Amino acid sequence: MTVLKELVWIRRTSQRRDVALW
């Protein structure tokens, strides 16, 4: 696995959290 993939995963979770907050 690459670090980039992990970063993308974290960003996707962050976006989902942002949507939930909004």
Could you tell me the pTM of the whole model?
0.36
Report how far residue 15's alpha carbon sits from residue 3's, in angstroms, rounded to the nearest whole number. Answer: 18
3-state secondary structure of 2: coil
pLDDT at 10: 81
CA distances for 16 relative to 1, 6, 19, angstroms: 22, 15, 5
Per-residue pLDDT at 11: 82
3-state secondary structure of 1: coil
Upper half-sphere CA count for residue 12 (Cβ side, 13 Å): 6
Q: What pLDDT does residue 20 have? A: 64
pLDDT in tens, 1-22: 688 888 888 888 877 766 666 5
